[in-house]
Amino acid sequence: MTRGAGQMRRGLTPQERQVMDRWDSGQSIRRIARELGKPVQRVRNLIIYYDGAADRRVSDRAMIAASAQLLRAIQRERAV
């Protein structure tokens, strides 16, 4: 429980606990949704509900992914 959900975790259903455990381990929302067969928006809403800072982390992850994609494109251009 590294992301601050604290006391609220005790009342989670088994499926909610699966989502939050995977989120705590660093998996992306899309990956969690795909692996559990749940809609992405449902997983996102659950994470935001139980982890109030999740919306910021989601945007941080998106920014990191975009930066990595840009870096790969620059590296490909330099290799040509």
Span 53-63, pLDDT tens digits = 555 666 677 77
Six-digit token string for 33: 């949704």
pLDDT in tens, 9-36: 567 899 999 999 998 888 999 999 999 9
pLDDT, average across residues 46-69: 75
pLDDT band per the 50, 70, 90 thresholds, residue 49: confident
CA 75 to chain centre: 27
Beta carbons within 8 Å of 5's beta carbon, 6+ residues apart: 20, 50, 51
Six-digit token string for 17: 């606990």
Beta carbons within 8 Å of 1's beta carbon, 6+ residues apart: 9, 24
Would you say residue 51 has pLDDT above 90?
no
Residue 80 CB coordination number (10 Å): 4
Cα–Cα nearest to 46, from 33, 63, 59? 33
Which domains can be identified in the chain, with CATH numbers? 6-79 (1.10.10)
